[in-house]
Each structure stands twice: as structure tokens, then as C-alpha cells.
Chains A and B, each alone.
Chain A
């Protein structure tokens, strides 16, 4: 055997291994893709080999290739094969590959469930560890649901290495399977006080991660964390806890008060920068939460700011960066204390590191005031000029606009200055933010009425110099600015000095090269300008010729736009062209048209809030989802829907993307459509038509007459484009302020003399209110519809996976929740029954011979199906009646008992928080914190719950009994399921189908092993059930799964399992252990918890059943004492347990029987009055057989022992007699199996 392996590996040792692959890729730099494709071919060959070493080598190489970006999903099944190797070396490679390549839509993942479960309960801790690590990467909701119980068991493993991994992976399980959070949480909480620092840190990690997303559910843990914080010395844990407190304090200001002192102490004492930084951060969070009405914390703020300043001044860029980051948090609530460090922050703007400059920019946003805005922006403008790289420059640009426009232009005192800043920004080359500048220009011009004249003048200059902006970089975003410029000039054309010149500029042929949406605005606003020009010219009747020339200009220039390929431009241009032609005709007849033309554009546009459209309340009785007309055909409407989706009301840049869809439509049809539309609009009462009366109402509402008109300072050279004018405003502003100041000082002096020297400290820098804006500006607020709801929560992401974890954890667990929800089977239709499979095979192989028989069979099948259906229904009813009702009533009982239990805990927290600040006395705090965890297990005690005393005696006992029975039933059921998931896949297929056919009485092959009555009397009982199963992979091994269930109120630990070996069977012990040493059970048992452990026995002969004596020793730990207990048991290895369910097709079965190697034996059972299918199911289930073929009341069955013996049964039934003819190549084994079958049926 060993020689064969050596030979095999010598054959394969010249295969490429990972190192060869890497070296090869490095040596084939030119034709890497080709080399890799040959390698992949080799790997495909290697994967076909049987040798697992070769396979794992191939998988290892594939993992590397996946990391290089090659798709290796085709090898997913091979990865599963390597994962299931029994050797750690290969298993590890398999799991690494799986964690690398598997994701939720990998379908082979569902094949791994049993493998992973097996690895999790492996006696080798590293097998378990590797499985946990792998699982953490590819856990899916299905895996999480199926394995949650197993992982939870591992959380109380004896090895800290496994414990910490199990604790950590629970977070992933919670994410994928949120139902597991509540049942698992008590144990997670226990792990916070684990003796091993690694486990403790893992638990802190998980809880912090959970609490970060839904902090309010974890407030009750605050005392526990507080205790940890004052006692722990592990910096990693401390940082996590302090971060957690930062998330909790906003919810509970009292917590913040309690924290401040210990945190300040830590800040003073710690030498670790990371810890110091996190402390400062949390103190800031506390201060924010306390900001209202807590004046006496200025010392803490001062301390924080001071420490942060030290960080920022440090030469280490990392500390500088973090200091700025934290500073920005203080800024929100205590801007004053940060503003005093303006020098430092401005200095950071010059830093060579971009991240630091960006952080400093963020800070500036909060630091501006009316006083320093101009100065800061000036500095930023300098940076814009210097900045290299467009990304940083764009960032600067947006920041300048953000800073200026924040809170409704609160800090801008001089809008002329702001407009000139915006104009200056347009000189930036290659910026992406043209539309941002444009929208600012529009916003300011529309909302600040006093500035319009100035804005229009500036925009006219811009339009005049449009060629500078567009230049050769037409597609840069900056030409968006022209959109705003054209619109402003058109809309507010009454302010224009020389409208004719502007009109001229707007109709230059070069405009036709601009993007379509801008051209459209140009055309429309040219018409507006035209009306203004007409107005001006018709005043003087001598100029009628000039007016006609203007019309002629339009008529000459507009055709360029009529030919545009943009539908919008085309339509507007042709419309206006016709209009102008008509006007010209009128003009030639000397008709005054100016007034009528201006009427086209009468009325004022009002700014509307961006969300206004969304917030229009739906009127009562209007159902927007209902169809008005049935939709014509699916595809067309869908197409339409996608196009219109997501477009804003005032589409600006969207139109860029939409290509003209109906360009081929001829003029005739267009005209027709126009007609139809017009008619529609005329008939539609809701279509808004411009009516003079509505405008009046409007103007009254805004109150135009109250807006003071501002004088424009014409000394500012408007005509020079591109010259930095904003600087002059700064100077002007300074002068103005100086003057104001001087004036005020004079007044102040007078006042002071009058008042004496009462106010002294006022002489500092001028306060905000002292700065009066240069213009009295009325900023028009954006309009909102009436009845709009002031809700802003539409921004939340509905897809956040953490939302599902928002679960109340303080409620005590109901009994039904105490165990993780039992895994439910996947829909069975996926699994094919081997019976049908076999039949299918027959049909394909010998279709002609069996045609007659087949028909027969089919008929029978039909009958059976009918029967099945009927019985299924019946059974379901029975099941429902039998099981669900009591469970429900039980739950309600529990619910009734809950409220009193939850209140004390909440009040504990209150008590802890309201306590006078005692952080200096951690012991007392600890004493208080102990209370809640201790009370929880009591309140929600274990399976053997004590019935409340208040109930009358009689009902008490009867109820108790009932409850127990139900519980046992439940348990049995659970074990039953458990078995399914345990077994090999084939087995679950088999039993699954059988179960599907008929309602069966619950069966379990977990047998009670032992129960200690002495302990039971003491109400501290533990019992064991066990299941013995052959191991598929190894001929001489039997795996025994034992479920340990703790029924008492106390903690059971240090369980040791020992069995007296016989000559034939030996318990497999780890290397180096003596033959009489006991095995440690790898977990502890908290009250009410059951866990499963597996033990491996090696067996020599399987012919005889055996009994092994064993003992279990354990320590029962109560609150004040611990007792050593012992429990004896007998392990019964039946011959059945050496059998493995193996499917067999009938042709193979027939050959086997024909071979004549098998020796026969038979058995007769009398008085069996159960249905035949029940009988078969029992044999299948308890004795690991599978049905080969079944005809009426006769069935052939097959099984195989772990050492390869074939066992065949022919079961016949007539009246109440069952006869079993059996054949096997090992008569001893057969005899014993038959005896066991007999025993099974005698018991029921």
C-alpha cells in the first residue's frame, strides 16, 4: 500500500507545482496568456487523476491563477473534492481555494454543507480551524442556517483557538441568517468574559461591529463594557470598546457623563497614540451628545483641542491627518474652539500631501464666517491657480462653491464678489464641474434679485467671450456655464445695457458647435432678447427700420439652428423663425408688435426646491398606480418607461445622453402630431396656460416691491474678461468695514462714556453681527408645494444587510427560541429517488423487452400515487393537530412570563447610569454590572424549567408531565432531522423520499445511552443519546455521535469521556495518550444547551455486536460550589451500525444474487399489523438499507457493511406475517442483523 503511494508520487513529482508555475509565468513575459493557457490545460489533465495529491496541487495552482484574474469557476467541483480530503495538507489547500473562488451563486456550495459540518466536529482542532476560516469567506444564507447550531457549539470548545474563530464567524452567520442572533446572543455575551484574551477580543470585536449598526439594542451592555474598559490592558480591546462607546453615547447622554472622567484619565496616562486618539474621538462624541446645556465641559473640549493640535503639529503625516479628521468632528458643535486654530489649518493647506490638504479643506468649510469668508476664498483661489492635477483642482472648486453657498449663502455679504468669483472659476481648464458653476450662477441670479443687473452684465461679457471658454476643448464641462449665461441674459434682459450686442453674440455661427442642450437655450433666449430689443426700439418711431433690421438678423442666423441634428434645437429654432418672419411682415405694415412679442415671455419664474415635485401630496381618491387605459403592448411601454425614468423636472444635462429617437419621422407626421398635442392640451383642464391673473397673485406673494434696488458700482471694469476682479472686492470690502468700524467706534465711545466702564472684554475682534452686508439682499427661498411633509428619510438605503440585524436583544428568550431554529429540508423535488432513477435506467437500457411489465408498473404507480396523495393530506392534518397547537400554547405561556423579567434589567441600567459618578470606584461598578448577566439565565432558565409555584398543585404536576412529553417529542423530531443532515448524501435522499411518501411515526436512531438518576433527584441531570454510524471513508472506523444535553440550571464543564477498550474495538485517542486515558469533550455545557460530540472507534471484526462500558465524568458548577459527577453508560455496537446505506440498481442486484457467493438465511415475523411501507421505512431507517425494487407487498432491499459485505433482503408480507429472506457473504453478520431487525419489530 505504502509502496504504491510512493510509486504514484514518484510518477507525479515532475508535475509542475506552484513554484514552477510562478517561475514559468515570470520567464514568459512576452507570451504570458499563451503560457497560462497551456498551464490550464495541464491542470485540467491533473484534475482528472485519482490521486488526491495531484488534484490538490492542481487546485493550488488554480488558486494562484484566480488571483491573477482568471476565471476558474469551472473547477469548483474539484475544489470541493480537495476540501473533503481527510489529510489536513490537502484540506487546507481546498478551503483556501474555496474561500477564494466561491461566492453566493456558486452552485456546488450546497454540496459542502455536510463536509463542513464533519470538519467542524473533527477531533483535530486545525481541521475545524481551517473549515471555520474558509466558511467565513463563502458563507451563504443556506450554509449559515444549516451550520449555525454547530458553530454555536464550537463557541464553548475547550481550545481557545477554536473558540475565538467560532465567535468571530458568528458575525458572518448573523449577517446571513439574522434569526440566529437572538438565540446565540447570550453565549456571545458570556464570551466577553472569557479567560482567554484572544476569545475576549473576538467577542468584543463582534459585538462592536453589531452595535455600530444598531447601537440602541446594545445599550444594556454598557455596564459590562465599562467594567472591561476599566480592567482591560489590551489596547486592541480598549480601542474597540472606546469606539463602541462613541457610538452609544448619542443615545444615552447619561452614559457620556459617566465616561468623561475615565476617558480623560486615559488621555493623560496612555503612551499609545492610537489609544489616545480614540479616546479623544470618543470624548468628542460625548461632548457632542452633551452639547445642549452642559456648560462646564469646556475644560474637556480644551483638552481635546489641545491634544489634537499636538497631533497636527507632529511631523508624522499620519498623526496630522488624523488630528484634522478629529478636529472636523469638534467643529460641528464647538466651532469657536476650532476657529482659534485657523492659522494651523491654513498652514495645512500648503502641505504636500493631498489627503491632508483635503482634510484641511473640509475643516475650512466649517470655519468660515461673514468676516473671514473673503479672505479664505482668496487663499483658496490662489491654490486653484497653483494646483497640479485636475482632481485636486476640481475638489478645490467644489469646496469653494460649497463654502460660499452653505446654509443658503449665509456668509456672503457681497454677492457681486461672489459672481465675480464664479466668473473667475470659469477660466479653469478641463474642469468637470461646469454645471456646478452654472447652477450656482442661475441660483444666485434667480434668488438674489438685487444682484441681477450685475449678474446680467457679467454674463453678457461671458457670452461675448464665449470663444475663450469653448476654445478647442468643446467637450470640457466648462461650456455648461454658457447655458447659465444665455439663460440669465435672456430672462433678465431688461437689465442689459446693450441687448443688441448680446443678441448678436448669441447668434454667432460658432454657437452651432456647442452641445445641443446649450444651443436650445441660446435659441430660446435669443427670442427673449429679440422682444426686449423690439421694446427699446419701437419707443422711437424713427427707428422702425432698425427694428426691421433686427428681425432680419434673426431670420438670417436662425436657419443654422433649424438644420441642427438636435431635436430640441430644431423645433425651437423653426418655431421662432416662423414667428419672426410673421413679425417682420407686420413690421413692414408698420404695425406695433413689441408689446405683443413681450407678452410671449411675460411673467417671472420662481425658484422651486429640488424635492418639491416629490413632495406634492397625492390628493385623496387619486390612485397613481391604476391604469387609465390598458397598456397597449408590453415591449413598447417598457422601453418608454426606461427612457423617462430618473429624469429631473428641469432636465439639464440629461438631454445630452438621449439621442433623437424620431429623426426619421417626416415633417408631415410631425405636424400631425403637433396638431394632436395642441388639441389635447386645449382640452386638458390641468394643462397650465399662462394667464395674467395667476401672475398677479404670484407677484404679490413674493413681494417684489419690497426689494430694494441696488446701485451698481460702475467703476468696476466689467468689460475686461478674465481679469481677477474679486480681489478688488476684497479691498473694497476691507475699506468699507474699516469705515464702518470707525463710525461705530465713535458711537461706542460715546456710549461707553455714558455707561462707565461696565463692559470691558468687548474690545476683541468684531463679532459676527457687526458686519453688515454691502447690499441688503433678499434671498428668495425656494418654493415648496402646500402640505408638503417635512420628511427627509428618503435617503436611507433599503438594501443595507445590517437592517435585518436590528433585533431587540434584551427581551429574554422564549423557550421556542432557546435553540437555534432547526434546519428545514430543502424542497425535496430536487432530489431524485433512486428507485425512479433505477427504473429510468432500465427503461433506457432494455426498452423493448420490458414494455409489458412497464405498463403494469405504471398502472401500479398511478394507484400508489393516489394513495400517497390521500395519505399525505391526512398525515399533514394529523401532524398539525398533534404538534403545532401545544407548541403555540407553550409559547404564549412563556410570553406571559416575560415582562417582569425584562424590566429589572432595564432598571439596572438606569440605576447604573443615574448613579453619582463613581468611575473612580470600579469595584462598585463591577458589582452592579454583575447583576444583569446573572439575572438573565434565571429569568430564562433551561429546558427543565420549574413550573411557577403560584399554580395549584394538581394542574402543576399534570402540566409538567405534558410539557415534558411534548418536549421529548420535539426533541425526537429534532434528532430525526439531525440524523438526516448527518448522514451521507445518498442516505438523506433515500430517507427523504420515503418520508415524502407516507406520514411516518417519528423515528430516531439516537438511543438513550444513560441517565444518572441520582443526579436527577438532585435536579441536576444530564443524559446522553447516541447514534452509531459507520464511516464511509474508512473501512475499520466507526463514528459515534453523542448528544450531551444539560438539563439542570448549572454549568457543566470539564466533561471527560472514557471507554474501556475491548480486543475488538478501541476508542481512537490522540497520539501519545495511553490506552486508558479519557478524551476531553471539546465544549462546555451551559444550562439548557445540548451539543454533539463525535468519537471515533476502530473496529477489527464487524461480525458480532458488542457492548463497551464507559464513563463520563464532569464538573457541575453552581454559583457557589462545584461538584464532580460521574455517569456510567454502555455503548452498544449493533451489527446494523456497521451497515451503510448504499443505493443499488436492480440489474446489479440481480447479478449479485446470481453470482452465488451469498449464503442465505430467513426470518419470519408474526403479528405485524403496520402497513408495508412503514415496515420498509423502518428497516431503511434503523438498519440502513435501501429499497431496490418494490412490487406490491414484496420488496428487495440492499445494504453494504463498512468492510464491503453485501447484504440483500427480500421482504414479503401476507396478512400479518412478514417473511424476510436474506443473503449475505458473511453468515455471522447476517444472523446478527436479522436478530436486530426482529428486535426492532418486537419493540413496536
Chain B
């Protein structure tokens, strides 16, 4: 197994300077961020139920302190979700590369039983939020597996793939983590299943989908941001030695 992120993955667009955070167990966030535009995406693998429950509990705690929140309003799950992302991004982005990859959970992400475990690949962060029943080093390895899977499925993944194909990223993620529980840790198995499903999708599309594909291919030609091969150089990410699953 490769210990370092695949070389092409490091060759990310410099001008965009964006950050992908991915967040598990209970929840899982996937966040894209760039300086000019905020692309904040959240995916709770524990289900939107999880965020919904949190928003309920937050609303509940606000009720008890009416002085602090004079205008009571029920906050949407979406609001809570955005707050989680912002807070997480804030926490993660200001950390140096040479500090540990764990962050203790704040009140927003489920309390003290939860930890943020993240990995930093060039301009991207993948963040998992896990509870105490998961092994910290195991999750670090799982992130590596996930990133390598992305690399295989997108054939040399770059950050733009993640931004423009959010749906595909989620389909891959669904093969790794399901409902907030780790489903599969064997990369070959994951890649195999994803490919079979993609093949099925292609066969269904068949003749009728061809023109639409052609159009989108034409559209993609004049994508302004295509310099995929800029090498940013080696970004050394510490990976604990862990035998493959």
C-alpha cells in the first residue's frame, strides 16, 4: 500500500487554494473552501437525523437561557450544519502541519465523546468526526484509504473533481461509510463495487443519454481551470505505520 498521497493528488490547482474537509461516526462532513467563495458542503453519514437532533438540542438549550437569546427561533438543521462546518474549518485550518491530527470535540459536534480526526493533503483537508468507539489511528488509515480510492475512481483525482462531482464523491463515500458506521476498509473491494455501479449506470443511459453526454463534454472543454499538472512539490504527510487492512 502506498504510504503517501498519490502524486497527482498533490498537483492541485494553486490559484484556487481551496480546502476540502471531510468529516464520521455520527457525522461526516465534506467541505470545500476557497478564499473567495465558500463552498461549504456537509454530509452527515449518520444521516441528516443527526444534525436534526443536534439542532433540536441546541434549540432546547437556548430556551433555558432566554436572556441570552431574546428572540427564540427554531433553528434549521441547515443552519446548525453550516455552523458546524464553519467552526470546524476554523479549528482545522489554523493548525500547523507539525501538530497532531486530533482535535477534541466542542459542544457543537456531539460533545466530549467526539473527536475530530483529520488529514491534510496539500490544500485539502479531510476531516472525520468520530466517537470514542473508533480507533484514532485506524481512522487516520481509513482517510488514507478513502483518498486513495478517490484517486483510483477518478483516475488521478484533483480537487476540481471533488468540487464538480460532489455526487460521485458521495457515492464512493457510501461504499466506505454507511449511516455513520465504517462499512468497508478494503480499497480493492470499494473500487470494484463503485466501478460495477458506474458500468450499470452507463448501460442504463445507453443510446438516449449520448447527446447529453456529448453536450457536457463540449461544455467541459472550455473549463478555465484545467492546469492539472502543476507540481507543488512534496508535501510530507505523516502517516503512522499501520499495516493494511
In the complex with contacts A68-B40, A126-B196, A22-B164 CB distance below 8 A? yes
Decide yes or no whether A228 CB sits under 8 A from chain B: no
A-B contact pairs, 23 of them (CB 8 A): A2-B207, A2-B208, A23-B223, A89-B201, A89-B204, A100-B43, A103-B52, A105-B52, A136-B178, A136-B181, A137-B47, A168-B181, A208-B133, A212-B133, A239-B138, A273-B137, A273-B241, A274-B136, A317-B100, A318-B101, A322-B136, A353-B96, A355-B99
B58 within 8 A of A: no
Chain B contacts of A354 at CB under 8 A? 99
Given known pairs A13-B215, A316-B240, the reply for A165 and B209 (CB within 8 Å) is: no
A536 at the interface (CB under 8 A from B): no
Residues in B with CB closer than 8 Å to A5 are 208
Chain B: minimal CB distance from A632 (Å)? 23
Contact between A318 and B138 (Cβ–Cβ < 8 Å)? no
Does A320 have its Cβ within 8 Å of any Cβ on chain B?
yes
Contacts of B99 on A, CB cut-off 8 Å? 317, 352-356
A318–B181 CB distance below 8 A? no
| A352 contact set on B, CB distance < 8 A | 96, 98-99
| B103 and A136 contact, CB distance less than 8 A | no
B64 touches A646 (CB 8 A): yes
Interface pairs A-B: 3 shortest CB-CB: A136-B179, A137-B47, A274-B137
Q: Roughly how many angstroms separate A1 CA and B214 CA in the complex, as a whole number?
A: 22
Structural contact, B102 and A355, CB atoms closer than 8 A: yes
Contacting residues, chain A, for B181 (C-beta < 8 A): 136, 168, 171, 202, 205-206, 209
Q: Check: A339 CB closer than 8 A to any chain B CB.
A: no
Binds A, one of B2-10, B76-84, B148-156: B76-84
Residue B219 is within 8 A (CB to CB) of chain A in the complex: yes
Any chain B CB within 8 A of the CB of A29? yes
CA of A270 to CA of B243, assembled, Å: 9
User: Does A126 lie within 8 Å of B197, measured CB to CB?
Assistant: yes
Interface residues of A in 837-894 (CB under 8 A from B): none
- Give the docked Cα–Cα distance between A206 and B135 (Å): 15
From B49, B140, B216, residue with most partner A Cβ within 10 Å: B49
CB neighbours of B238 from chain A (8 A): 316-318
For the complex, is B174 an interface residue (Cβ under 8 Å from A)?
Answer: yes
Chain A residues in 8 Å Cβ range of B82? 69
A-contacting residues of B (Cβ < 8 Å)? Answer: 30, 36-37, 39-49, 51-52, 64-68, 76-79, 81-82, 96, 98-104, 133, 135-138, 140-141, 163-167, 170-171, 174, 178-186, 189, 193, 196-197, 200-201, 204-205, 207-209, 211-212, 215-216, 219-220, 223, 238, 240-243, 245
- Asked if A657 and B67 sit within 8 Å, CB to CB, the answer is yes
Q: How far is the CB of A37 from chain B (nearest CB, A)?
A: 16
Are A26 and B37 neighbours in the complex by a CB distance under 8 Å? yes
| Number of A-B residue pairs at CB separation under 8 A | 230
Q: Which A residues are within 8 Å of any B CB, using their own CB?
A: 2, 5-6, 9-10, 12-14, 17-20, 22-23, 25-26, 29, 32, 53, 60, 63-64, 66-71, 87-89, 92-93, 96, 99-105, 126, 132-133, 136-139, 161, 164-165, 168-169, 171-172, 197-198, 201-202, 205-206, 208-209, 212, 234-236, 239, 243, 270-275, 277-278, 316-322, 352-356, 358, 642, 646, 657-659
Secondary structure of the B side of the interface?
mixed
CB pair B167–A168 under 8 Å, yes or no, is no
- Residue among A13, A101, A132, A659 with most chain B CB within 10 A: A13
Shortest CB distance A365–B (Å): 16
Q: Contacting A138 at CB < 8 Å: which of B47, B184, B240?
A: B47
In the assembled complex, the CB of A1 is this many whole angstroms from the nearest CB of chain B, namely 10
Complex alpha-carbon distance, A10 and B98, angstroms: 53
CA gap between A856 and B188 in the complex, in Å: 73
A22 touches B209 (CB 8 A): no
Q: Is the CB–CB distance between A67 and B200 below 8 Å?
A: no
Which residues of B sit under 8 angstroms from A132, Cβ to Cβ?
178
Q: Closest CB-CB distance, A150 to chain B, in whole Å?
A: 16
* Contact indicator B216/A9 (Cβ below 8 Å): no
Chain B residue, CB-CB nearest to A321 = B100
If A239-B138, A318-B101 touch, whether A18 touches B208 (CB-CB below 8 Å) is no
Indicate which residue in A2, A6, A63 contacts B167 across the interface (CB closer than 8 Å). Answer: A63
**Residue in B141, B165, B178, B207 whose CB lies within 8 Å of A274:** B141
CA distance A322 to B219 in the complex (A): 49
Give 19 new A-B contacts, CB below 8 A, not counting A6-B211, A136-B179. Answer: A6-B208, A69-B40, A70-B78, A88-B204, A104-B49, A133-B178, A137-B44, A165-B178, A198-B186, A205-B182, A243-B133, A272-B243, A274-B138, A274-B240, A317-B238, A322-B136, A322-B137, A355-B102, A356-B100
Q: How far is the CB of B208 from chain A (nearest CB, A)?
A: 5
Q: Within the assembled complex, what's the spacing in Å between the Cα atoms of A69 and B43?
A: 11
Contact A19 B219 (CB under 8 A): yes
Closest to B197 in A: A126
CA distance in complex: A99, B67 (Å): 36
B133 touches A277 (CB 8 A): no
Contacts of B183 in A (CB 8 A): 164-165, 168, 198, 202
State how many angstroms separate the Cβ of A597 from the closest Cβ of chain B: 38
How far in angstroms is the closest Cβ of chain A from B72? 12
Partner pick for A272 among B36, B39, B45, B242, CB 8 A cutoff: B242
**Contact status B167-A60, CB under 8 Å:** yes
A677 to B137, CA, bound (A): 66
Asked whether, in the complex, the Cβ of B42 is within 8 Å of the Cβ of A67, the reply is yes
Residues of the A chain whose Cβ atoms lie less than 8 Å from the Cβ of B44:
137
B135-A358 in contact (CB<8A): no
Known contacts A9-B211, A96-B171, A318-B137: A273-B242 contact under CB 8 Å: yes
Contact in complex: A161, B98 (CB < 8 Å): no
Contacts of B164 in A (CB 8 A): 18-19, 22-23
Q: List, in ascending order, chain B residues with CB within 8 A of A355's CB.
A: 99-100, 102-104
Shortest Cβ distance from residue B38 to the other chain A in the assembled complex, whole angstroms = 8
Chain B residues closer than 8 Å to A168, beta-carbon distance? 178-179, 181, 183
Q: Which of A19, A60, A642 has the most B CB atoms < 10 Å from its CB?
A: A19
Q: In whole angstroms, how far apart are the Cα atoms of A70 and B163 in the complex?
A: 17
Q: Answer whether A29 and B36 are a contact pair too, CB < 8 Å, given A63-B167, A137-B47.
A: yes
Residues in A whose Cβ lies below 8 Å from that of B240: 273-274, 316, 318-319
> CB-nearest residue of chain B relative to A97?
B167
Question: Does the CB pair B78–A19 fall under 8 Å?
Answer: no
How many Å from the CB of A749 to the closest CB on chain B?
Answer: 51
Using CB atoms, name the residue of chain B closest to A197. Answer: B186
| Cα separation A92 to B172 with both chains bound (whole Å) | 12
